[in-house]
Amino acid sequence: MLVGGGAHRTGENSAGGKYGNLRKTAQKFFPNGREVANWSAQDCMTLDGVPYIGQYSSSTPNLFVATGFGKWGMTTSMVSAMIISDLIQDKPHPYEIFSPQRFKPSVSAKSLMDEAAHAVKGLSSGIFNIPDAKLNDIPSGHGGLIEHDGQKVGVYKDESGEVFTVSARCTHLGCQLEWNPDELSWDCPCHGSRFDYHGDLIDNPAMENLHKN
C-alpha cells in the first residue's frame, strides 16, 4: 500500500510530523502492515499550472526545457520526450500550449505576486526575526537557528550530541533557510533549494554547498 499526503511548500515544514500523520493513516487501513520506506518529492509548478516543455527562449535555439510537471512526472516526462525530440528534428507538433515562451506577466499577475511574496518573506525573515534559540537549547536529534557573532547559524545536533553548523543563507540568492525536521535538511522557502545538515546541496536552483562553520 502507498499512502501519500502531507503536502507543503519547500521551507515551510518547521513543525514536522508529516510522516507521522501518514503512518497513522496507514495503521488505520492496514493495522498489520510493516513500513518499508518513506520519501518526499519536490514538484515544480508553473504560474498557470501547465508544464513548460520546449525551446527555452527564442534566443537559445539549442536549449530545451521540461519542467513544472506538478506531480505528474511519469506521464508528462513521456510527453516531454516526444515534444523535444520532434523539436530537435524540426518536426511539427500540435502542443504549443506547453511552450515555455507563452508566459505573459499580465495574465499570471496574481500567481506571480503570490510567489514574489513568498520570496520576500524568505529574504526579510533573516533581517527582522532574530531567533532566541541558543546552542544548549537545541536537544539531540533536532536542528534550529541561533545567533552567533551577529550572524544566523544553522545548527543540527544528532542523537549522540555531535553538533553540525552551517551558514543559514541559501547559496542561490541569500534567502534564510529553514530547518526541516522530517528530512533533517535545510530548505529554502524562496526558490526551493535544499541542503543536508552537513551543508551539502540536495536540490537546485542553488549550485554550491553551504558554508560550513
The CATH number of the domain holding residue 199 is: 2.102.10.10
In a domain? residue 175: yes
CB of 48 closer than 8 Å to CB of 108: yes
Q: Identify the bridge partners of residue 43 per DSSP, sorted by sequence position.
A: none
Q: Which domain holds residue 152?
A: 125-203
Ramachandran sector of residue 38 (left: φ over 0; alpha: ψ -120 to 50; beta: rest): beta
For 61-94, b where at least 16 C-beta lie within 10 A, e where not — what string? eeebbbebbeeeeeebeebbeebbeebeeeeeee
**Cβ neighbours of 96 (radius 10 Å):** 10
In a domain? residue 78: no
Query: How large a percentage of the chain has pLDDT more than 70?
Result: 84
- Whether residue 88 is predicted with pLDDT greater than 90 in this model: the reply is yes
Residue 45 burial (10 A CB sphere; 0-12, 13-18, 19+):
middle
Number of domains in the chain: 1
Residue 160 burial (10 A CB sphere; 0-12, 13-18, 19+):
exposed
In a domain? residue 53: no
In a domain? residue 143: yes
What pTM, to 2 d.p., does this model score? 0.71
Q: Which residue has the higher pLDDT, 60 or 117?
A: 60
- Whether residue 208 is predicted with pLDDT greater than 90 in this model: the reply is yes
In a domain? residue 8: no
Query: Which pLDDT score is estimated for 74?
Result: 86
Rounded CA separation 64/70 (Å): 19
- Whether residue 110 is predicted with pLDDT greater than 60 in this model: the reply is no
Q: Which residue has the higher pLDDT, 73 or 119?
A: 73
**Cβ neighbours of 176 (radius 10 Å):** 23
Query: Which pLDDT score is estimated for 125?
Result: 47
In a domain? residue 50: no
In a domain? residue 173: yes
